[in-house]
Amino acid sequence: MEHQYLEEEKYLSAKKKVEKTKGFYWHLFWYVLVNGYLLVMIYKNLDADESLFEYGHFSTAFFWGIGLAFHWFGVFGRNIVFSKDWEDRKMKEFMDKDKFDL
């Protein structure tokens, strides 16, 4: 019974991670699509003496990009430095060291 509970817990955890990852990729898709469209429209409507490379033309992409970066960090970045692999390696290292210290 306990094994079944653990498997269900793993499944639900994996499903939650997949949903978060999918949500991020949809966010990225809309970011690229909308900002690409906005930049094309801005470029098409530039005056002859106006430059595309002005802050106002990229402000939407910039501020939305900050939100996208936080979304990325929320989905992928929690364990950048201290990942599960790192934890496993450290546990093994400390356990091996303790074997020889006894």
Which of 27, 17, 7 lies closest to 78 in space, CA to CA?
Answer: 17
CA distance 101 to 52: 66
Q: Is the distance from CB of 40 to CB of 57 less than 8 angstroms?
A: no
Structural domains in the chain (count): 1
Is 53's pLDDT higher than 70?
yes
Query: Mean pLDDT over residues 31-49, rounded?
Result: 93
With a cut of 60, say whether residue 65 has pLDDT above it.
Answer: yes
DSSP character for 1? -
Position 30 pLDDT exceeds 80: yes
Q: Give the model's pLDDT for residue 42.
A: 92
CA distance 29 to 22: 10
Parent domain of 56: 2-101
Residue 17 has pLDDT above 80, yes or no: yes
Give the three-class secondary structure for 79: coil
Of all residues in the chain, the percent with pLDDT exceeding 90 is: 44
**pLDDT in the model for residue 71:** 95
What is the pLDDT at residue 50?
A: 84
pLDDT attached to residue 102? 53
DSSP-derived letter for residue 82 is S
Which one has a higher pLDDT value, 70 or 84? 70
